[in-house]
Each structure stands twice: as C-alpha cells, then as structure tokens.
Amino acid sequence: MPAGRRAQHIAASVLFFNIILGIATAQDTSQGSLDSSESQKMPIELNDVVFVIQSQKQSFHANQAAKLKQDILQQAEVFSQYLPTVVLIHELSKHEGAWTIIPIIPYLASTYVKKSWIFFCEEQTRVKITKLLEVLRRYDKRKEWFLGKALHDEQSTIIHHYAFAEDPVVFKYPDFAAGWSMSLPLVNRLAKQLRNEKPSSDFTIDLKHEIALFISQRSKGPSLTPVREFCTEDVTSSEAANCATTFHTYLPFCGKLVEKENIFFAVKTCQKFHRERIPIVKKTWEKEVALIEYYSDHVDGSIPTLYLGIPNTERGHCGKTFAILKRFVSNAVPEVPWLMIVDDDTLISIPRLQRLLSCYDPSEAIFLGERYGYGLSTGGYSYITGGGGIVFSREAVQRLLHSGCSCYSNDAPDDMVLGMCFSGLGIPVTHSPLFHQARPMDYSKDYLKHQVPISFHKHWNIDPVEIYSTWLANEDGFKLHQKAQRTKKEREDL
C-alpha cells in the first residue's frame, strides 16, 4: 500500500475508533449520568450526603472510625459551609445487627428523608469528598442507584451458596473497602419492603454479596453500577490520583509485635486426621509458634496429642472447645494473654497475626476473627466462624467461663454457642476480614488483591503447602504473588 493511502487508511481508522469511543461513552453516560445542564439544575451539596462508616464497638476500631469521621468533617470545613452527616454504625445500639446494613435501612430512610445519597465505607477507607461529589453528580438522584467498585466470582463458591453456578462472573457485588452508595429513592423502596416483610435468610456469611443479592434480586432493584473512581489503591500510589476513595490498610500495626511466647495455639483434631492433616501443620506454620497443643480423641505421642475427656463428634465440637478454654486458664499451660483455637486444616500466617494483635489490649475482652451472623434481622447474634481461627484474650475467656454459659451438647456448633455467650455478656465480636473460612479460590481475586491475609481454611482439592507458601509464608512471597496478579490482569486488559 502506498504511503499516502496508508496514512489515509490510518486516519480513517482513528476517526472510526473515536466515533465508536464517543458512542460507547455516550451510552455509558445515558444509563443515568446527567449532562452538564441537567446537573446544574440538581446540584449535589455535601449536606445531601450521609456518610455511614461501617465501624465496630471494640476500642481500637471505634477510634479508627472516629478518626475517619474527623477527617471527613475537616475536609468539609475547608470548602463548604454545610457539614455532612457522618454516622458510625456501632453507635446505633438500638439496632441489633446494624453491621449487616439491612436492619437499619428503615431507620436511614425515616431519619434522612431530605438527603439524596447514603454513602457507606469501612474505617480504613479514605474519602476525597470533593471528588466523591463529582462522582455522585453524574447520577440522577431522583432515580434508584446502587454504586460501587464491582467484584465478581471467578467460579461458584460455597461461601456464596454456589449462586450463579452456570456463570458466576455475571453477578457483581461491591467491594466495601472502596465505599459504596445508594440513592435515597432506592433506600426508600427497600425500607418500604422491609416494613412489610423480613429478610428470609437466617445467616449472614459474606455481607457484600448478600447486600447485592437483596437489592438486585430479592427486591428487584438495580444491579450494581461500577464506579471507576471507587478504588482500593493505596492513597500514596500514583493510581490513586483520579480516585474518590482509596484504602489505607487491612493489616494495621500499632508499634510493637506481640511476642510469639504470648500466644497459645490450640489445634482441634481427631485420630482419623492425625496422618492426613497434622503433618501439614508441622510443615507450615507450626515452626513459627512458641506454644501449641493438639487436642484429639486419641493420645498419640508422636504428635503429641492430648485427650481432654470429650469424645469426638462428627460436627459441632462445642464440648472440646470449652474443655480447651478451661485448660487455657488452668495451671496446665503457661499464663499468656492470647489464645487462638484453630482446626487441623487451618493455615495461618503467624507474623501477620503478631502484627494485628499489636493493636489490641488483652486486658479488654477480645473475641476476634471472621464475623458471621445468625438471625440478626430478628434479634439474633454475631459469632466468629471457627474455620478461619478464633482469637481470645485471656480476659474474654475468664469472663466467659465465670458467666456459666456453656454447651447444650458436646456436638453443638462451638462457634455459634460462643457467639450466643459473648452476646449475652455484652462483649462484641471484633471482625477482621483477614481471617478466612474458605480457600483463596473461593474469594474474588480483586478482593484478595488488596488484602494481607492471616488465615485460610480447608484442604479440599488444593495443595495446602503450596497455598501456605503462596499466600501466607512470608511478606516477600505475598508481594510477588500480588505483582504477578497485577501483571496478569494488565495483560488481560490489553
């Protein structure tokens, strides 16, 4: 092809590409974004937005949420005479299970009737409120909107009850770390529905997925609209320049690692798994700990295991767990401030656990792990799911045992009984998403990309030693894994 014709062909191709790009952009905008003239007719001010911080009662987390609230208000004072409303979820004490969002939707609808948007974020989310207003002005506040950074499953997973098994990629749900928002018309309609009928699900397992299901499936509301400015990049990264939200850290560090000698590990096992699972523990994380005991239905000196007089049960293991708690506060083991109870197929990063625990005061009653909920829309309770590991301060164990709360049977679900007991004592569950009830492949890749995980659970259909080496063994290995994932995504995007 002659040079002149080649230049004409390239120019025509560029023009065609720009036309297509313009059409695509217009189509994206037409889905609800306002043009400039319409936007000017319906301006969004800061006092049109209610910020809801998904906070927790435990003192460290309450302080983190308070700092975020102060930051939002200080940003507002710089450029606006109107201060936004900032709500801390843990302060809504009248609403049992407020952390699951759905029970407080009627409250939000009736309390903030003159607002336009409810914006939710986590305590480690960082918000640029001027940029957030720019984002919200793109969407017609008179319509129903569900906005966020979209996550999806690569494969059907047990934690989502194998939903959308034929094509799991099709269903999008929000990454809470990036913040997410609902317009008030959507909040109002959901509130009306909730006043007439209660949510049917008894369990809360993965809240972000269940919120999206409730809005777009059960309530026949809008699907999640992805917002590119809702980000989970670190605030200092170059990628964060155009973000309305960024994320600080999932693994806080408060000055000094908790020494290994201050954490006692209790591993629940049974004879049939002595040869299958215990060798995995010994090859991986056991070498990082100072204090550990294995509790079984059979004494095996080669491990060694201890029998606490509780026969093995196929499920529940409540009797065994309470026997471990009693042993922890007895003279049989060293007196240390922390106890972690795990299953024999739990994988743990001990250095990351040491780092996380630096932010908690063991003189407080701490009950820490991955939070689930049972019957919270009808007055139920929260609990720590056992597979990812449960961390107790000595104070929490002592208060629990002194209360007299106990198992109703040896095979009762130990994690749920513990949740009921601590709820009755007024001791809140402290949630960390770094503990995982399932395997890495059971979670969205984009969700794990900005995490620094502490534990995973289950050996089913995986090489657990490889999983440990890839995800948990050391910081350098994990950073290399993250870099590889980013490089792979960049290649896919191209």
Q: Band the pLDDT of 34: cuts 50, 70, 90.
A: low
The pair phi, psi for residue 443, each rounded to 5°, is: -120, 155
Residues whose CB falls within 8 Å of the CB of residue 126, separated by 6 or more in sequence, listed in order = 68, 71, 235, 245, 246, 247, 248
State the Cα–Cα distance between residues 412 and 386, nearest whole angstrom: 13
Q: Within 10 A of 248 (CB to CB), how many other CB atoms are there? A: 16
Q: Which element (helix H / strand E) includes 278?
A: helix 278-283
- Hey, is 1 helix, strand or coil? coil
CA distance readout (Å), 94 to 87, 191, 366: 14, 17, 22
pLDDT digits (tens, 9 = 90+) for 347-401: 999 999 999 999 999 999 999 999 999 998 878 999 999 999 999 999 999 999 9
Helix residue ranges per DSSP H, 307-437: 318-328, 350-357, 394-403, 414-425
State the Cα–Cα distance between residues 401 and 325, nearest whole angstrom: 8
Predicted pLDDT of residue 239: 83
CA distance readout (Å), 468 to 264, 361, 462: 20, 28, 11
pTM for the full model?
Answer: 0.88
Which tokens go with 60? Answer: 């460290």
Q: In terms of Cα–Cα distance, which of 133, 107, 125 is closest to 46?
A: 133
Which CATH fold topology does 38-247 show?
Spore Coat Polysaccharide Biosynthesis Protein SpsA; Chain A (3.90.550)
Does the pLDDT at position 35 exceed 80?
Answer: no
Task: Tell me what percent of the residues of the chain surpass a pLDDT of 90.
Answer: 76
Does the pLDDT at position 88 exceed 80?
Answer: yes
HSE at residue 180, side-chain half, CA atoms within 13 A, is 25
List strand residue ranges (DSSP E) for 275-412, in order: 291-295, 305-306, 338-343, 346-348, 367-369, 371-374, 381-384, 390-393
State the Cα–Cα distance between residues 14 and 20, nearest whole angstrom: 10
- Hey, is 437 helix, strand or coil? coil
Which tokens go with 122? Answer: 């986590």
Q: Within 10 A of 211 (CB to CB), how many other CB atoms are there? A: 23
Predicted pLDDT of residue 200: 66
CATH no. for 260-482 = 3.90.550.50
- 14-28, 178-192, 313-327, 437-451: least confident range: 14-28
User: What ranges do the domains of the chain cover?
Assistant: 38-247, 260-482
CA distance readout (Å), 149 to 42, 227, 228: 25, 6, 7
What is the greatest pairwise CA distance in the chain?
91
Order of strands, edge to edge, in the sheet holding 381-384?
A: 203-204, 371-374, 381-384
Residue 443 near residue 436 (C-beta atoms within 8 A): yes
Predicted pLDDT of residue 302: 97
Does the pLDDT at position 202 exceed 90?
Answer: no
State the Cα–Cα distance between residues 365 and 391, nearest whole angstrom: 11
Predicted pLDDT of residue 475: 60
Residues whose CB falls within 8 Å of the CB of residue 133, separated by 6 or more in sequence, listed in order = 44, 45, 46, 49
Does the pLDDT at position 42 exceed 90?
Answer: no
Q: Band the pLDDT of 33: cuts 50, 70, 90.
A: low
Which tokens go with 194? Answer: 């909730």
Residues whose CB falls within 8 Å of the CB of residue 336, separated by 6 or more in sequence, listed in order = 261, 262, 263, 264, 291, 394
